[in-house]
């Protein structure tokens, strides 16, 4: 019986929330290990849509333990609102069902102010961040000045760290970013209130996970963002500020690598991206518009319209290798219904040369032209299909061709946002 990691294989929004929710009945514990409320994970259960930003996507199942690991950066205001909304819907019925790592870093108002002001100053060169303060919070963690939950719980430590941070950040905000200064008292009082509301959830989650795993409990590690947004392996600098890959699950949850046996990559049957940065298979014409409309490609966090394009096998193959993916869940196949021909990008052309591995150079990535292989499309709607053999032959061929090019097995095909709109080919927990 395996523990499983669910990891985005593209630029985020691949349908991780749906797949985590779907597999939660196989697990006892669901852990978020990186990112923050830049994530927006959508779950559709019995036709009802829920979007989660911080609480793991297992929260709609009764009696599952949800953990926010040490690698997550937490905006307490957003987390409190999310907990309250879930409780009002009859979930998270007691506080033991959610645990927050004492080592998780807290997003502060200056993180958001810096994130937003920098993006404004970057103008056309902006990253297109979610504006949630994610990058500046991770910067403070690495600079060793961040405030963790354990620091927030100790009044004297918190006051001391907050005072020093505000002094320094105000100089930066005023002199460099031309923003207003922030006030200690206001922030302090607000965060004391957050502390009171969250303190019962805070614990040593690494230790808890170890104890539970030793007792035979099964864990589902829930990635946020995606491999191509990873701070090391993505399209740097157009990335997020955390380690989004499987390796990040070990440091961000506080477990050893031997505790993760299966790694399932989530990939759309095409590609999307929110924010700036290179995207070789992007479609700026009517086909892109059709994908956006049929796939309802609007951000679950910011509502921004997502850029859309054809499936990029170079990117997904890179993700398979980087994460040690043992299988892929291919989502949103239903959205491709109606296209006569469906191209798959199998290489990039740059400066007269063919490239088949994901380039590190931002310049090469920006200028790379996709080289396509064309597959036949299909016209039948797929949303009611539940068996692979009931898919139109050309849809089956499309899935099998992708499987061959990316070099790993497709273990699930998703044909709609609903939990039940799924063709499961292999259960990774039983491997």
**Structure token digits, residue 22:** 């779907």
**Structure token digits, residue 44:** 């559709």
H-helix or E-strand spanning residue 379: none
CB contact at 8 A, 86 and 53: no
| Residue 175 DSSP symbol | I
The 279-318 site mask, x for binding Mg ion (CB under 5 A), equals ---------------------x------------------
User: Alpha-carbon distance 178 to 209, whole Å?
Assistant: 44
**Count of residues engaged in binding Mg ion, rule: CB under 5 A:** 3
Please give the span between the terminal C-alpha atoms of the chain, in angstroms, as a whole number: 6
State the nearest-atom distance from the C-beta of 261 to ligand GDP, in Å. 22
Instruction: Note whether 233 binds ligand GDP by CB under 6 A.
Output: no
Instruction: Note whether 14 binds Mg ion by CB under 5 A.
Output: no
Query: Residue 227 or residue 262: which is nearer to ligand IMO going by CB?
Result: 227
Instruction: Note whether 22 binds ligand GDP by CB under 6 A.
Output: no
Closest CA to 318 of 384, 258, 267: 267
H-helix or E-strand spanning residue 106: strand 105-106
Closest CA to 253 of 222, 289, 218: 222
State the nearest-atom distance from the C-beta of 189 to ligand GDP, in Å. 34
Query: Residue 50 or residue 103: which is nearer to ligand GDP going by CB?
Result: 50
User: Alpha-carbon distance 383 to 413, whole Å?
Assistant: 11
Span from 35-43, 98-106, 273-281, 376-384 in contact with Mg ion (CB under 5 A): 35-43
State the nearest-atom distance from the C-beta of 143 to ligand IMO, in Å. 16
| Residue 306 DSSP symbol | P
Query: Residue 131 or residue 392: which is nearer to ligand IMO going by CB?
Result: 131
Residues 236-295 that bind ligand IMO (CB under 6 A): 240-241, 274-275
State the nearest-atom distance from the C-beta of 42 to ligand GDP, in Å. 3
Query: Residue 12 or residue 265: which is nearer to ligand IMO going by CB?
Result: 12
Mapped onto helix, strand or coil, the DSSP state of residue 400 is: helix
CB contact at 8 A, 148 and 102: yes
Among 4, 17, 318, 343, the residue binding ligand GDP under the rule CB under 6 A is: 17
Active site residue 13: yes
Instruction: Note whether 127 binds ligand IMO by CB under 6 A.
Output: yes
Q: Report the length, in residues, of the chain.
A: 431
Residues 384-423 that bind ligand GDP (CB under 6 A): 414-417
Residues 174-233 that bind ligand IMO (CB under 6 A): 224-226, 229
Query: Residue 134 or residue 410: which is nearer to ligand IMO going by CB?
Result: 134
DSSP 140-174: HHHTT---BHHHHHSHHHHHHHHHHHHHHHHHIII
Among 71, 135, 146, 247, the residue binding ligand IMO under the rule CB under 6 A is: 135
State the nearest-atom distance from the C-beta of 203 to Mg ion, in Å. 27
Query: Residue 261 or residue 302: which is nearer to ligand GDP going by CB?
Result: 302
Instruction: Note whether 334 binds ligand GDP by CB under 6 A.
Output: yes
**Count of residues engaged in binding ligand IMO, rule: CB under 6 A:** 24
Among 7, 9, 15, 32, the residue binding ligand GDP under the rule CB under 6 A is: 15
C-alpha separations of 325 from 3, 226, 229, 429 in Å:
13, 13, 17, 14
Query: Residue 16 or residue 317: which is nearer to ligand GDP going by CB?
Result: 16
Catalytic residue among 13, 28, 230, 334: 13
State the nearest-atom distance from the C-beta of 352 to ligand IMO, in Å. 30
Instruction: Note whether 244 binds ligand GDP by CB under 6 A.
Output: no
Instruction: Note whether 13 binds Mg ion by CB under 5 A.
Output: yes
**Structure token digits, residue 13:** 């929004």
- Helices (H) and strands (E) counted in the chain, each on its own, are 13, 20
Catalytic residue among 21, 41, 75, 233: 41
Query: Residue 205 or residue 421: which is nearer to Mg ion going by CB?
Result: 421
Name every residue whose Cβ is closer than 8 Å to that of residue 375 and which is 6 or more positions away in sequence: 341, 342, 343, 344, 394, 397, 398, 401
CB contact at 8 A, 99 and 203: yes
Active site residue 41: yes
C-alpha separations of 194 from 8, 42, 177, 197, 264 in Å:
31, 26, 28, 5, 35
Instruction: Note whether 41 binds ligand GDP by CB under 6 A.
Output: yes
Angle, to 10 degrees, between the axis of helix 205-214 and the axis of helix 246-253? 110
Q: Which are the catalytic amino acids?
A: 13, 41
- Catalog residues that contact ligand IMO under the rule CB under 6 A: 8, 11-13, 38-41, 127-130, 132, 134-135, 224-226, 229, 240-241, 274-275, 300
């Amino acid at each position: 019986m395996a523990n499983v990691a669910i990891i985005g294989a593209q630029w985020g929004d691949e349908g991780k929330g749906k797949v985590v929710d779907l597999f939660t009945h196989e697990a006892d514990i669901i852990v978020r290990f990186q990112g923050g409320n830049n994530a927006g994970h959508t779950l559709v259960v019995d036709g009802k849509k829920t979007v989660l930003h911080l609480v793991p996507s297992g929260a709609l199942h009764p009696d599952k333990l949800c953990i926010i690991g040490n690698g997550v950066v937490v905006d307490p205001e957003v987390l409190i609102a999310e907990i309250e909304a879930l409780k009002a819907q009859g979930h998270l019925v007691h506080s033991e069902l959610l645990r927050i790592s004492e080592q998780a870093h807290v997003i502060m108002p200056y993180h958001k102010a810096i994130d937003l002001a920098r993006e404004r100053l970057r103008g056309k060169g902006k990253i297109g961040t979610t504006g949630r303060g994610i990058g500046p919070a991770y910067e403070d963690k690495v600079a060793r000045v961040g405030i963790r939950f354990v620091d927030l719980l100790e009044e004297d430590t918190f006051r001391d760290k907050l005072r020093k941070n505000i002094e320094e950040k105000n100089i930066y905000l005023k002199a460099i970013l031309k923003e207003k200064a922030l006030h200690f008292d206001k922030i302090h009082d607000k965060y004391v209130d957050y502390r009171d509301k969250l303190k019962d959830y805070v614990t040593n989650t690494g230790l808890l996970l170890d104890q539970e795993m030793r007792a035979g409990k099964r864990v589902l590690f829930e990635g946020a963002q995606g491999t191509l947004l990873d701070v090391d392996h993505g399209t740097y600098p157009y990335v997020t500020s955390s380690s989004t890959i499987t390796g990040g699950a070990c440091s961000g949850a506080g477990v050893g690598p031997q505790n993760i046996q299966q790694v399932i990559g989530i990939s759309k049957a095409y590609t999307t991206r929110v924010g700036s940065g290179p995207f070789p298979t992007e479609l700026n014409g009517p086909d892109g518009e059709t994908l956006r409309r049929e796939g309802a490609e609007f951000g679950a966090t910011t509502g921004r319209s997502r850029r859309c394009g054809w499936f990029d096998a170079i990117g997904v193959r890179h993700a398979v290798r980087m994460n040690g993916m043992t299988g892929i869940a291919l989502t949103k196949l239903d959205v491709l219904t109606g296209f006569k021909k469906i191209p798959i990008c199998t290489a990039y052309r740059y400066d007269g040369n063919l490239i088949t591995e994901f380039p590190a150079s931002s310049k090469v990535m920006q200028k790379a032209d996709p080289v396509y292989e064309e597959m036949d499309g299909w016209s039948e709607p797929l949303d009611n299909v539940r068996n692979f053999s009931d898919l139109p032959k050309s849809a089956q061929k499309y899935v099998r061709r992708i499987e061959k090019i990316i070099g790993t097995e497709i273990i699930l095909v998703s044909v709609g946002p609903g939990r039940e709109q799924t063709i499961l080919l292999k259960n990774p927990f039983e491997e």
